[in-house]
C-alpha cells in the first residue's frame, strides 16, 4: 500500500505535465518556405505542359526479311527457267555466249593435248 502511495507521489499530475509540455520546442519553418514552394509550383505547372513525343513504332522483323525472301524466290525461279542470261549486262552476256559457243564447237578430244601436257 505504501508502495502505491509512493508511486502516486512520484508520478506527475496533469497540471504538472501541462506545465512541462509548455516547454517543448516550438518548431518553425524556414523563413523562405513560401518562396521555395512558389518556385516549385511554377515548375509543376510547366512540367504539366510538356507533351511527350509520340513513340515511333519499331519496324517488324519480318518486314526486313520480306525483300530478302522475295529475292531468293526470284533467284530460284530465274535459275530454274534458264533465263538468267537475259538479266545480265550486255558485255557479260556476250562473253558468256562466246564461251558457250567455243565449248559447243570443240569436242572433248580437242582438249586431250592439254591433259597429256599436264601429265608429262
Partner 1 sequence: MAKIVNWQNATDAELLAASVERNQQAFAALVQRYHVPVYSVAWRLNGGHADTDDIAQETFLKLWKNPSQLREAAALKGWLIRVASNLVMDRYRRKPMLELDYAQDVPDSMMTAPAMLDQSHVTKVIDAAIASLPDRQKLALALVHFEHMTNIAAAAAMEVSVDALESLLARARRGLKEKLGSGGRQLLATLASQGE
CB 75 within 8 A of CB 82: no
Nearer to partner 1, 33 or 111 (CB): 33
Nearer to partner 1, 10 or 60 (CB): 10
Q: At its nearest, how many Å lie between partner 1 and the CB of residue 3?
A: 14
Q: At its nearest, how many Å lie between partner 1 and the CB of residue 5?
A: 14
Q: At its nearest, how many Å lie between partner 1 and the CB of residue 66?
A: 48
Chain residues that interact with partner 1, rule: CB under 8 A: 10-12, 14, 16-17, 19-21, 23-30, 33-34, 36-38, 40-42, 44-45
Nearer to partner 1, 11 or 117 (CB): 11
Residue 86 φ/ψ region, left for φ over 0, alpha for ψ in the -120 to 50 degree band, beta for the rest: alpha
Amino acid at each position: 500500500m505504501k508502495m502505491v502511495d509512493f508511486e502516486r507521489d512520484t508520478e506527475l499530475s496533469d497540471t504538472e505535465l501541462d506545465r512541462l509540455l509548455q516547454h517543448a520546442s516550438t518548431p518553425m519553418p524556414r523563413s523562405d518556405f513560401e518562396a521555395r514552394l512558389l518556385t516549385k509550383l511554377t515548375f509543376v505547372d510547366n512540367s504539366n505542359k510538356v507533351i511527350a513525343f509520340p513513340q515511333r513504332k519499331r519496324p517488324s522483323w519480318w518486314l526486313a526479311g520480306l525483300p530478302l525472301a522475295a529475292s531468293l524466290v526470284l533467284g530460284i525461279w530465274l535459275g530454274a527457267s534458264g533465263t538468267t542470261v537475259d538479266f545480265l549486262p550486255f558485255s557479260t552476256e556476250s562473253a558468256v555466249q562466246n564461251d558457250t559457243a567455243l565449248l559447243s564447237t570443240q569436242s572433248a578430244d580437242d582438249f586431250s593435248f592439254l591433259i597429256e601436257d599436264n601429265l608429262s
